Copies of this chain bind each other. A is one copy, B any other.
Amino acid sequence: MRRAPRRKTRAKKDFPVAEIRRFLEPGPIVLVSSAWRRETNIMTMGWHTVMEFTPSLVGCVISSGNHSFEMIRRSKECVINIPTVDLAEIVVRIGNSSGRDTDKFSAFGLTPVPAAAVGAPLIAECHANLECRLADARLVERYNFFVFEVVKAHAATTPRYPRTIHYRGDGVFMLSGSNTSRYRRLFRPGML
């Protein structure tokens, strides 16, 4: 496999876990990093949703066909990383290779950084990193659906609105477009 060029890492600050909707609710494709015993892995994930502000809950589908599935089920932890458009090719290559035969951090030139609260590594090149602990596994067997609590979050301070990658299926990506607060005045207090 061609070795990918090393990308820019991002300096991060702590980010409030109750506000991670800012990154996830617009629906970007994400990279999920995991660790189990001496192994690390990364998978690409598009099926996720915010579920609660406090505790900060995220639900997502991790197919049992993925090498990451057992690593996350056993370690009960992962990191959800938000990549931006400069990582689009790597995101696709990660989704089209398997941790069974590939060390993805090494193969794709990504930098693992120790997390604060979980064993899985952060991906330094991503805009934000959400450290997650498994909160509810009741729907794992039937739907491969994991409910995670985000226990610690890190985010780059610039750009304010990162250019994210959104998957439409069939090899087509939508890139996030312009941002507007022109409708903000229409919100009732408490509904923002």
Contact = CB atoms under 8 A, between A and B. Distances in A.
Contact of A27 (B145, B166, B171): B166
Q: State how many copies of this chain the complex holds.
A: 2
Contacts of A192: 169-171
A28 B27 CA distance: 7
Nearest to A191: B96
Contacts of A28: 27
Most B Cβ at <10 Å: residue of A21, A22, A169:
A169
A168 B26 contact: yes
A46 interface: yes
A168 B186 CA distance: 15
A177 B178 contact: yes
A95 interface: yes
B168 A25 contact: yes
A114 B47 CA distance: 30
A168 to B, nearest CB: 5
A79 interface: no
Interface stretch (A31-39, A52-60, A68-76, A102-110): A52-60
- Top 5 nearest A-B pairs by Cβ distance? A27-B27, A177-B177, A171-B184, A26-B166, A49-B49
Given A49-B61, A51-B61, A89-B186, 20 more contacts: A21-B169, A25-B168, A27-B166, A46-B50, A47-B50, A49-B59, A92-B187, A95-B191, A96-B188, A96-B191, A139-B139, A161-B172, A169-B192, A170-B192, A171-B181, A171-B184, A173-B181, A174-B178, A174-B179, A177-B177
